[in-house]
């Protein structure tokens, strides 16, 4: 293990979206999505002794919403808190695009009445240029529970708090060693076993969803300057050593809050997975950004961390470990449907804990070297193999934590419509997602805090 990796796992924060159900999803902006079903997501948060976490608590006074941490713990399950009830009803994700976590772009399509269709330069249902995409800048399409409204676009948004009670730390998305690790992987689907109607076996899926999912972290490092600390102190959950808070964001329906202290990090798992292309290569994604007036294609190298493909582990019998576990867990049971078999296995038996059966991908150590290796937007398989791999991307940092100063973080999960693998397919699948944020004193410029001083 490298010294860098040893420092990175000095403390860790594991945030696992255990079973994010994505149903009837339309990809690549090419067809209007069919109606997703509501399945909800389950989110669990856990960590070590040096990084603590808390749910986001709110108080409304004189029409103003104040955000402050709940009780800090080593583990947190969002589904146990009433303020996160919406996660139980979030409908299927549909493609959107963002480069900064503030401006969200939804696709628009030509219809029969458009002049371009009438004059023959376009056809009904064809995607319009990104300059004509719909801009969602007030979180209107976040956490939708209505399937009809979600057809146009839908992404997950939630807030949580982290604090480092022992030292200053930088947080990076990490592969992890002893924790759940960071990964996105499509869940194997139960299918009927031959002619036996109530017996099922697991089968692998296409990987289109896993290769198109993104996770983003928006962090405002500014100190909150209003009466929030007063309300936090009155809540009974504020230790005396916590005297300030960081992080302020727009509310749903509000206009964007701009801050010079904003930091946005995009985690791209399965970067070299291409269900309809050549696995092992990497193709640059240019998400849509707002340049002050127009929609443009963004260069995100300064905020991107890329991981290689996550795979189901294969046992000595050349069979997936997960399939072996499924057979053992379901022997003697009968199910009326594949959905019943799936819920019984993933939710009840595994309780969403799929990470022991995954071979996690490595992170590209430096995003800059990944981009240096690109030729016409693509890094070859051979070049990918020569790049340095690590437990985390060194030149991309999620947040800078100051000792005993709670930091509010806004997290997003979405399907990136600009991804090359978001390839015009409508599919029904489920995926598991895990995030581990590792604390270190490594700075994005490669120096430690001690070296800086």
**pLDDT tens track for 373-409:** 999 999 999 999 999 999 999 999 999 999 999 999 9
262: pLDDT strictly greater than 50: yes
Q: What are phi and psi of 212, to 5 degrees?
A: -110, -10
- Of 261-265, 315-319, 420-424, which gets the smallest average pLDDT? 420-424
Per-residue pLDDT, 22: 40
pLDDT of residue 390: 92
Read out DSSP for 79-111?
GGSGGGGGGGT-B--B-BB-SSSS-EEE--B--
Strand partners, 431: 20, 186
The pLDDT of residue 195: 64
For residue 49, the tally of other CB atoms under 10 A from its CB is 9
Report pLDDT for 37. Answer: 30
Rounded percentage of the chain residues whose pLDDT exceeds 90: 52
What pLDDT is attached to residue 2?
47
Spatial distance between the Cα atoms of 407 and 397, rounded to a whole number of angstroms = 14
pLDDT at residue 1 greater than cutoff 70: no
Q: Tell me the pLDDT of the chain averaged across its residues.
A: 83
Please name the residues in contact with 230: beta carbons below 8 A apart, sequence gap of 6 or more.
none
**pLDDT tens, residue by residue, 90-107:** 888 889 999 999 999 999
pLDDT of residue 362: 95
* Mean pLDDT value of segment 312-321: 88
CB 247 within 8 A of CB 398: no
CB 400 within 8 A of CB 170: yes
237-276 exposure pattern, b = at least 16 Cβ within 10 A, e = fewer: ebeeebeebbbbbeeeeeeeeebeebbbbbbbbbbbbbbe
Q: What is the pTM of this model?
A: 0.90
Say whether 114 sits in a helix, a strand or coil. coil
Confidence of residue 181 (pLDDT cuts 50, 70, 90): confident
The token duo for 351 is: 């309780």
DSSP state of 344: I
Task: Look at residue 196 in the predicted model and tell me its pLDDT.
Answer: 62
Locate the domains of the chain by residue range.
Answer: 3-452
d(CA 94, CA 156): 10
Q: How far apart are CA 355 and CA 360, in angstroms?
A: 8
* pLDDT (0 to 100) of residue 115: 93
């Amino acid at each position: 293990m490298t010294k860098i990796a040893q420092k990175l796992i000095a403390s860790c924060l594991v945030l696992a979206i255990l079973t994010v159900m994505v149903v009837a999803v339309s990809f690549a902006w090419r067809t209007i999505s069919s109606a997703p079903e509501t399945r909800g997501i389950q989110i669990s948060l856990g960590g070590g002794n040096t990084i603590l976490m808390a749910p986001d608590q709110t108080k409304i006074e004189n029409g103003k919403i104040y955000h402050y941490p709940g009780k800090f713990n080593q583990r947190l399950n969002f589904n146990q808190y009433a303020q996160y009830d919406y996660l139980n009803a979030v409908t299927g994700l549909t493609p959107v695009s963002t480069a900064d976590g503030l401006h969200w772009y939804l696709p628009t399509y030509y219809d029969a009445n458009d002049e371009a269709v009438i004059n023959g330069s376009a056809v009904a249902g064809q995607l319009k240029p990104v300059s004509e995409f719909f801009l969602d800048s007030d979180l209107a399409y976040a956490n939708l529970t209505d399937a009809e409204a979600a057809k146009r676009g839908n992404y997950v948004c939630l807030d949580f708090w982290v604090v480092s009670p022992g030292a200053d730390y930088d947080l990076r998305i990490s592969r992890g060693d002893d924790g759940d690790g960071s990964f996105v992987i499509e869940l194997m689907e139960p299918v009927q076993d031959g002619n036996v109607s109530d017996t099922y076996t697991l089968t692998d899926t296409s990987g289109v969803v896993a290769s198109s999912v993104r996770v983003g972290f928006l962090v405002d490092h500014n100190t909150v300057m209003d009466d929030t600390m007063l309300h936090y102190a009155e809540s009974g959950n504020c230790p005396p050593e916590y005297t300030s808070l960081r992080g302020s964001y727009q509310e749903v329906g509000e206009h964007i809050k701009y801050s010079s202290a904003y930091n946005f990090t995009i985690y791209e798992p399965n970067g070299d997975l291409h269900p309809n292309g050549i696995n092992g290569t990497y193709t640059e994604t240019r998400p849509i950004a707002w340049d002050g007036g127009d929609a443009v294609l963004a260069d995100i190298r300064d905020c991107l961390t890329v991981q290689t493909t996550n795979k189901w582990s294969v046992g000595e019998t050349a069979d997936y470990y997960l399939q072996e576990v499924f057979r053992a867990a379901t022997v003697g049971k009968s199910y009326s449907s594949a959905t019943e078999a799936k819920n019984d296995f993933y939710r009840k038996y595994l309780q969403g804990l799929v990470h022991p059966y995954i071979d996690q991908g490595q992170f590209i150590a430096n995003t800059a070297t990944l981009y240096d290796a690109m030729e016409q937007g693509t890094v070859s398989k051979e070049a990918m193999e020569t790049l340095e791999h690590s437990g985390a991307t060194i030149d991309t940092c999620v947040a800078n934590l100051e000792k005993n100063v709670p930091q509010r973080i806004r997290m997003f999960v979405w399907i990136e419509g600009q991804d090359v693998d978001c390839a015009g397919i409508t599919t029904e699948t489920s995926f598991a997602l895990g995030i581990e944020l590792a604390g270190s004193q490594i700075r994005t410029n490669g120096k430690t805090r001690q070296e800086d001083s």
